[in-house]
Amino acid sequence: MLHIFRNMKAKDRWLALLCLLLVCGQVYFDLRLPDYTAEITVLISSEVTELSQYYAAGVRMLACALCSALLTVVVGYFAAMIAADFSFDIRAKVFNKVAAMGSGEIKKFSTASLITRTTNDITQIQMIIAMGLQMMLRAPIMAIWAIVKIVGKSWQLSAVVAAAVAIVVVSLVTLLAVMIPKFRIVQRQIDDVNRITEENLSGIRVVRAFNAEQYQEEKFETANSSLMRTQLFTGRGMAFLSPIMMFVQSCVSVGIYYVGAMLINAIDVPLGGEAEAIATSVSARSLLLGEVVSFSSYALYVIMAFVMLLMIFMLLPRAQVSANRINEVIDAEIAVQEGAETASEESGSVEFKDVSFRYPDASEDCLKHISFTAEKGETVAFIGATGSGKSTLVGLIARLYDVTEGSVLVDGKDVSAYSFETLYKKIGYIPQKATLFADTVEGNVSFGNSGPKKTKDDVERALDIAQATDFVQKLDGGLKSRISQSGSNISGGQKQRLSIARAIARKPEILIFDDSFSALDYKTDRALRGRIKTDLKGTTCLIVAQRIGTIRNADRIVVLDDGEIAGIGTHEELMKNCTVYQQIALSQLSADELAANA
């Protein structure tokens, strides 16, 4: 809780301190009630017949109860406000940290785990703050204050309370030692359930196409059953504490009244003695009876304080696990750090200088000593077998990762020197898998803040170049048509064309096509490349492709083989002197087709 308090905003910290003061007032009024109970008990024992004295004590008890109830409502209101505000800040902090992560950090945590940490884990923290400010503050204050009031009254009665507290503490410590490891397992199992659910939803077409519904259901059932068993174990364990507390509470009441009765009985009332002696003994018994009654109430307040702590301890271990998981995200080191450069003298050039790259935790480099240059307005293509490093290479330009050795220069400066905003203003990146957002067509194409502001004309121009105008006009709302999450309501080729239009609308210096033409038919592919050549003169194009027809007219083609450059040149040059390129070309087209196309 102290760590949470330090991370609160100044306003929330002041409200938390105000809650502490209000809780002290609430406890004060609660602990005044046994005093008035004792007073009424003494009045009854002394056979006072004036009802006004009873009424006065009763009115004071009622006033204390009302004040305590009012303060409880105010503390609850402030606690809910603080908890909601704190969770809002933490959720924003986690989201922003995840948004700043590179591909390596995302893979380290997994998407399902990050979703759980941003939702379920933060909810656990919110609950512990809301309840903690009401119960965690109140319980120790009430316990200590009540103990102070009963200390010195009777060591015999105090021994009963001490024994009860010892039993409760031992029970709590023992159970929590068993439960805390299980709470860690619960959060990991929630990650598994989220992961399987996400896979099933995102791959629903594949699941149905392969008739794998039963397999997915069994996989989900396994993860869900494991989570259920662990939660049952923790729930039963925590439920075990409730009867212990009720048993101890009942035993304390019986013990106090039993010991009190013995102490009262030990006060002799002289039979046949002087009236004054008899009155003194009766008065002593009355006062002791009042003390026993008030002592019983104070003892129950002590036990009640531990009951409140019990409720907090039921949530605290899981909240602690959640806090650790959240801190893992917030404290994670970001491998790709932002530079400070905001301008460059050149425009549209890309250069790789002896670049080697190794993925985190990999045993060897996946790119080795890559060197080439793309000048402004040139088209440079990359081709090679699957796994040869093409997508990894262009990803280094967009700083999805940082190079292991060498340097990647954009406009004459290392990409790591640029601020993110400056670098991404220069680049239009179209990933291998088209990603669209739940928005309109226009909203998806004009997506993002970097680069010049997009007008409706810019959007229409980008759609026209990307060969998307025809199908957009056929949609019910045209540019205002809604696109579902991940573009699930349009075809793969349509998603890819909108993705390309989104990059073109930015008017970047450099366009990176990471196998972005694979979902397009040959006619659309050819028309799109023709429009890029005529309408985007001066824009440097870097194209990753599998089809020879897509890249054969590039100014230069870089052939990759197992992470190394096997050849660089035009299509004609590579057909003469690069065996790897010849094999790729002949696997797609016959010698006669290649000759005819040439």
| Domains present along the chain, CATH in parentheses | 2-330 (1.20.1560.10), 350-433+508-597 (3.40.50.300)
pLDDT for 310-322, tens place per residue?
A: 777 767 777 877 8
Whats the size of the chain, residue-wise? 598
| Burial (CB count <10 Å: 0-12, 13-18, 19+), residue 483 | buried
pLDDT at 319: 80
Nearest to 341 by CA among 425, 230, 229: 425
Say whether 48 sits in a helix, a strand or coil.
Answer: coil
Give the model's pLDDT for residue 590. 62
Model confidence at 277: pLDDT above 60: no
Strands of the sheet with 379-384, listed across from one edge: 427-430, 510-514, 540-544, 379-384, 556-561, 564-569
- For residue 286, which of 34, 39, 46, 37 has the smallest C-alpha distance? 46
Least confident of 9-18, 46-55, 431-440, 499-508: 46-55
559: helix, strand or coil: strand
Q: Binning pLDDT at 50, 70 and 90, where does residue 337 land?
A: confident
53-62, 469-478, 534-543: which range is least confident on average?
Answer: 53-62
pLDDT at 200: 83
Say if residues 498 and 528 touch (Cβ distance below 8 Å). Answer: no
Per-residue pLDDT band for 452 (boundaries 50, 70, 90) equals low
CA 27 from chain centre, in angstroms, equals 36
**What is d(CA 82, CA 12) in angstroms, rounded to the nearest whole number?**
6
Give the CA-trace dihedral at 298, 303, 304, 309, to 10 degrees.
140
DSSP state of 453: P
Q: HSE on the CB side for 80, CA within 13 Å?
A: 5
Q: State the Cα angle at 157 between 156 and 158, rounded to 5°.
A: 90
Q: Distance (Å, rounded) from C-alpha 300 to C-alpha 153? A: 16
Residues 67-123 have pLDDT tens digits of 989 998 999 899 889 888 888 988 988 888 888 877 777 777 777 788 888 888 888
User: What's residue 282's pLDDT?
Assistant: 52
pTM of the model: 0.68
Mean pLDDT of 217-229: 90
Q: Are 295 and 148 contacting, i.e. CB atoms less than 8 angstroms apart? A: no
**How many Å apart are CA 411 and CA 345, to the nearest integer?**
7
Is there a contact between 510 and 411 (Cβ–Cβ < 8 Å)?
no
Work out the pLDDT band at 408, boundaries 50, 70, 90.
Answer: very high
Mean pLDDT of the 337-355 span: 85
Alpha-carbon distance of 469 to 457, in angstroms, equals 12
> Which segment of 345-359, 392-406, 441-455 scores lowest on mean pLDDT?
441-455
User: How many C-beta neighbours within 10 Å does residue 360 have?
Assistant: 12
Please enumerate in sequence order all residues whose Cβ is within 8 A of that of 318, keeping only pairs 6 or more positions apart, or say none: 124, 183, 186, 187
What pLDDT is recorded for position 380? 93
